[in-house]
Copies of this chain bind each other. A is one copy, B any other.
Amino acid sequence: MKNFDRKRQTGCPVTYGLDIFGDRWSLLILRDMMLHGKNTYGDFLAADEHISTNILADRLKHLEAEGIIEKSDDPENGKRKIYSLTEKGQDLAPVILETIRWSGKYIFLNKERKALVTRIENDRDGLLAEIHQRANAN
- Give A residues with C-beta under 8 Å from B: 8, 10-19, 22-24, 27-28, 31, 48-49, 88, 91-92, 94-96, 98-110, 113, 117
Contact = CB atoms under 8 A, between A and B. Distances in A.
A110 B28 contact: no
- Could you tell me the dominant secondary structure of chain A's interface residues? helix
B17 A102 contact: yes
Contacts of A95: 95, 98-99, 102
Contacts of A22: 22-24, 27
27 contacts: A8-B48, A10-B49, A11-B107, A11-B109, A11-B110, A11-B113, A12-B28, A12-B31, A12-B49, A12-B113, A13-B100, A13-B103, A13-B104, A13-B113, A14-B103, A17-B100, A17-B103, A18-B24, A18-B27, A19-B24, A22-B22, A22-B23, A23-B24, A91-B102, A94-B101, A95-B99, A95-B102
